[in-house]
Chain A
Amino acid sequence: MSTGIQIILLVFLIVCALAVSFTKNLFIAVIVFMGYSSIMAVIWLLLESPDLAITEAAVGAGVDSVLFFLTLKKVHYLKGTREG
């Protein structure tokens, strides 16, 4: 596996983590974290652990972000759902 792709993906990870830290909007932070998890799933595939890739894609990008979104809705953060 070519090292170039791996290094690009790893740099993407660091950029995503920094973006989560510096954005003010919680909605954007959760979306970027979702992207972070998807990139992580690709990296598990490159590290030859397909079990982890399936689990991370289903858990990190699926259920985790659903839970974050539901919490944002419950604390009346999202626009369009009451009070905004």
Chain B
Amino acid sequence: MGEKKSVWEHLKAWVDGEEVILDADKYIVNRSKREKKNWRRNFSMEYIRGNVKLYRFLSIAISVLFIGIMLSVVNDLPEFGNPANPADNEVMERYLESGIEETGATNFVAGMILDYRAFDTFGEANVLFLAVMCVVLLLKKDQKNYSAKEEQENREDDFFDENEKRPILQIGGKLLAPLIILYGIYVILNGHLSPGGGFSGGTIIGAGLILYASAYGQKKMQTFFTFRTFTLICVGGLLTYCACKSYSFFTGANHVGFEIPKGIPGHILSAGFILPLNICVGLIVACTMYGFYALFTKGDI
């Protein structure tokens, strides 16, 4: 001992407990200073962003590395479509076998998201409402964030809406919008019997409203759909959902004791609370989709 040892031997002795590195602090300070300098010179984020070629190369390398690692993971995943997969476990069996008795819905997915996991769906309806409120905050027009140029553009748009002849769009809108809205209502009302439900039906109704508004201008929409109607429908839908679900939570989450009439599976008036909940979700989604459109075009509902 006593002679020059390599760093590795020092480390080994320290791990074994034979030696204490007395000048460790000094060593660490020196090391970190040196390393930091190099680090800053070579690998700072500024340098990478500034050097376009290096940034591109690193991004592609990270993505390709990610794809490679994940493909090797996929290689070891259980086989696709095999009934013995660990994902298809007793939870799924429970939902499929006793779902009809417990929820009364023939569409198992609707029964799952609106009865077993209704709280989750309530949170999601709130997410939609919050998103449209954030868009209102960002894009609704008022004196402070509204320039004269935009005012002029909006006036031009209104002028075009009123005076321009757009026969294909207008006649097509007149014929198609009621059919699309009717189909959306059908999808919502049959949410517990066939594919569909509040989310898809609400989006279809919203698309019909968007078609009508783009054909006839927003002035005409405002005769029956104002910001006040929008907030009333959204908040009313959310509160109704909350009331329906809290009724079934407070009377025992499994409807113990207070049995809500389920009806005969397959009939339109069946499945307990799923039909009203679907209607609430559908109204909220339809208003949200139309609200996005209106705020994106004019900055006003």
Contacts and interface: CB of A to CB of B under 8 A. Distances in A.
Interface of A: 49-51, 53-55, 58-59, 62-63, 66-67, 70-71, 74, 82
Contacts of A51: 107, 109-110, 195-197, 200
Give the 6 A-B CB pairs with smallest separation, nearest first. A50-B195, A58-B203, A70-B296, A54-B200, A55-B200, A62-B207
A58 B286 CA distance: 12
Given A51-B109, A71-B296, A63 B207 contact: yes
Contacts of B203: 55, 58-59, 62-63
B206 A63 contact: yes
30 contacts: A49-B109, A51-B109, A51-B110, A51-B195, A51-B196, A51-B197, A54-B196, A55-B199, A58-B200, A58-B203, A58-B204, A58-B207, A59-B203, A62-B207, A63-B203, A63-B206, A63-B207, A63-B210, A63-B289, A63-B293, A66-B210, A66-B293, A67-B292, A67-B293, A67-B296, A70-B293, A70-B296, A70-B297, A74-B296, A82-B153
A53 B199 CA distance: 12
A67 B228 CA distance: 23
Given A63-B203, A82-B153, A54 B187 contact: yes
Contacts of B293: 63, 66-67, 70
A50 B194 CA distance: 9
Interface in B286-301: 289, 292-293, 296-297
Interface centre among B199, B200, B292 (most CB of A within 10 A): B200
Nearest to A60: B203
Contacts of B107: 51
Contacts of A54: 187, 195-196, 200, 204
Interface residues of B, number: 20
Contacts of B200: 51, 54-55, 58
Interface in B179-204: 187, 195-197, 199-200, 203-204
A66 B292 CA distance: 10
Interface string B268-295: 0000000000000000000001001100
Nearest to B110: A51
A62 B199 CA distance: 14
Nearest to A57: B200
A74 B293 CA distance: 12
Nearest to A63: B289
A49 B207 CA distance: 22
Contacts of B197: 51
Nearest to A61: B207
A53 B187 CA distance: 13
Contacts of B109: 49, 51
Interface centre among A51, A58, A82 (most CB of B within 10 A): A58
Interface in B109-138: 109-110
B62 to A, nearest CB: 15
Interface centre among B195, B196, B293 (most CB of A within 10 A): B195
A13 B207 CA distance: 25
B5 to A, nearest CB: 55
A46 to B, nearest CB: 12
A63 B213 CA distance: 14
Nearest to B288: A63
